Amino acid sequence: MGAVERVREIISEVVDVEEIAEIEEVVGEARRELSQDFWSGKTPCWETCHCPEMIKNECPAAKYAFLPCWEIEGTYCKLDDYGATGRDTSICQLCRVYKRYGQNKPIELKLLGRGMDTSLRAVEKEAAADK
């Protein structure tokens, strides 16, 4: 039985905290299985682009390695200081990682809401909310 099937089975019978811990363990296993999918046998984007450790640790491309970086919202390279949301994939079309592994397929974001939110506008909004 694969990890996804095990999660479905467990979720259907959840009644206490111990079962939730079991779900977390199985989800962790599923993530490890999935993390090998895309970058296995390839040089990951964070290595190709020589991302500093600080950026790599925050960027969803390394956290969700089961998808190529161009399909993940809010990767570091998709952001700027002018309010970018991390959804603009036009930079991906120019990127050497996409050119090498993307096979010229149309880019479609598949993982949303998990990216970095470091745009200047977001920081300004947080600062204003703190006042």
Chain segment 89-105, per-residue pLDDT in tens:
999 999 999 999 999 99
Name the residue range of residue 111's domain. Answer: 45-130
Report the DSSP beta bridge partners of residue 70: none
Q: Cα separations (Å) of 18 from 8, 10, 15, 30?
A: 16, 11, 9, 19
Give the pLDDT confidence of 35-93 residue by residue, as tens digits.
567 888 999 999 999 999 998 988 999 888 889 999 999 898 888 666 567 888 999 99
pTM for the full model?
0.62
What is the total count of domains within the chain? 2
Gap between the Cα atoms of 22 and 59, Å rounded:
27
Query: 103 lies in a domain?
Result: yes
Q: Are 49 and 30 found together in one domain? A: no
Query: 91 lies in a domain?
Result: yes
Q: Are 30 and 49 found together in one domain? A: no
**Residue 120: predicted pLDDT:** 44
Tell me which DSSP letter residue 30 carries. H
**Residue 64: predicted pLDDT:** 87
Given a contact cutoff of 8 angstroms between Cβ atoms, the answer to whether 116 and 75 are in contact is: yes
**Residue 96: predicted pLDDT:** 95
Q: How many beta carbons lie within 10 A of that of residue 76, not counting itself?
A: 23
**Residue 107: predicted pLDDT:** 94
Q: Are 107 and 59 found together in one domain? A: yes
Residue 128: both structure tokens together = 């204003």
Query: 118 lies in a domain?
Result: yes
